């Protein structure tokens, strides 16, 4: 088993069942903290003709980003109860962004059921999604102007990324793939990390937490695109979306990949390098169980995503 040093940490590139269970247990305990209050907040947004819509938009999410917020608050020595509103704000923004993304892409399914716009209509779903963002910002206000500034920056970057993805990605140069991943996916992971340290009263960590989140977001997007491309190459997916076609052009141009198998292999190699960078960017956090879990979490997320295409971070061929 290969290990990567990070101060006092040894971070595994492959995980034992025990390590998986530890992350899953922590994740579930934090979801249990966040979910009731998240549900209470969205239930207060109910209004005539829109009953249940806000709740439907946010329900069923993995809450990875809220999990990141809480882990960063804990690692920085903060109080988890104080950080809870920051995690909820991140999840509100995530729900809004996914609902709007489904409208733009005309995706009819989300989280194992119909997308919000399919059930409630495009207009209602768009307006309630937009309402979730200022609701999130009101929660963030308590953490001060820096937290608000980062929140506005993240939302602006996400929207820019979605606009480019939806309307311009076919016209981008391959080298711009990582910039797009940073905008549309890295921004919210950056916000999740940053709000965690700000909620723990460590504003001096904010910029470095933002940079870590950006690296993790890029890794997340890479793992997602590699998985989708592998499923497409094996006939399990009908077509590539524009952003996935940009990934393919990037792999061919920047990684010099030739053929489907090499795109997957070199993509996973590059993903491994990005994950290593995420660990080296964590030196500002004090050593401890939460910091170790933050370092392991990107490997965990990427591994679980690749598994759906029978891939792993350490083996590029199909698993038996």
Per-residue pLDDT reduced to its tens digit, 171-189: 899 999 999 999 999 999 9
pLDDT at 5: 34
pLDDT for the residue 172 = 92
Q: Which of 102-111, 208-217, 220-229, 269-278 has the lowest mean pLDDT?
A: 102-111
Structure tokens at 254: 């920047």
The sign of the torsion formed by the CA atoms of 272, 274, 275, 277 equals positive
SS (H, E, C) 35-97: HHHHHHHHHCCCCCCCCCHHHHHHCCCCCHHHHHHHHHHHHCCCCHHHHHHHHHHHHHHHHHH
Q: Which helix (H) or strand (E) holds 288?
A: none
Whole-number percent of the chain with pLDDT over 90: 73
Handedness of CA 160, 255, 227, 31 (dihedral sign): negative
The confidence score (pLDDT) of residue 68 equals 97
pLDDT at 317: 36
Write the pLDDT tens digit of every residue in 61-110.
Answer: 889 999 999 999 999 999 999 999 999 999 999 999 999 999 988 888 88
Put simply, whether the predicted model's pTM sits higher than 0.75 gets the answer: yes
Q: What is the pLDDT of residue 10?
A: 42
C-alpha 103/C-alpha 139 separation (Å) is 26
Q: Render the burial of 277-306: b for 16+ CB within 10 Å, e for the rest.
A: bbbebbebbeeeebbbbbbbbbbbbbbbbb
Q: Report pLDDT for 283.
A: 92
pLDDT for the residue numbered 109:
86
**Given this model, what pLDDT does residue 319 score?**
32
């Amino acid at each position: 088993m290969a290990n990567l040093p990070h101060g006092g940490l040894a971070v595994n590139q492959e995980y034992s069942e025990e390590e998986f269970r530890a992350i899953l247990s922590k994740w579930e305990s934090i979801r249990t903290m966040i979910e009731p209050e998240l549900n209470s907040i969205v239930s207060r947004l109910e209004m005539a003709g829109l009953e249940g819509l806000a709740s439907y938009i946010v329900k069923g999410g993995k809450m990875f980003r809220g999990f990141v917020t809480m882990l960063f608050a804990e690692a920085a020595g903060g109080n988890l109860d104080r950080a809870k509103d920051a995690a909820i704000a991140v999840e509100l923004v995530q729900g809004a962004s996914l609902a709007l993304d489904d409208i733009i892409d005309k995706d009819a399914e989300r989280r194992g059921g119909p997308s919000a716009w399919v059930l409630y209509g495009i207009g209602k779903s768009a307006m309630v999604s937009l309402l979730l963002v200022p609701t999130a910002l009101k929660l963030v206000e308590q953490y001060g102007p820096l937290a608000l500034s980062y929140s506005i920056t993240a939302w602006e970057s996400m929207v820019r990324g979605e606009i480019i993805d939806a309307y311009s990605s076919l016209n981008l140069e391959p080298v711009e793939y990582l910039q797009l991943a940073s905008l549309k996916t890295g921004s919210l992971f950056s916000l999740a990390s940053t709000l965690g340290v700000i909620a723990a009263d460590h504003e001096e960590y904010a910029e470095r937490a933002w940079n870590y989140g950006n690296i993790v977001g890029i890794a997340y997007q890479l793992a997602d695109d590699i998985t989708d491309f592998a499923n497409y190459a094996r006939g399990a997916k009908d077509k590539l979306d524009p952003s996935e076609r940009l990934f393919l052009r990037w792999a061919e141009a920047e990684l010099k990949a030739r053929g489907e198998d090499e795109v997957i292999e070199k993509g996973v190699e590059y993903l491994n390098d990005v994950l290593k960078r995420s660990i080296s960017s964590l030196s500002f956090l004090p050593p401890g169980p939460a910091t170790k879990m933050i370092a392991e979490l990107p490997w965990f997320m990427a591994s679980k995503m690749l598994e759906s295409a029978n891939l792993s971070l350490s083996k590029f061929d199909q698993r038996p």
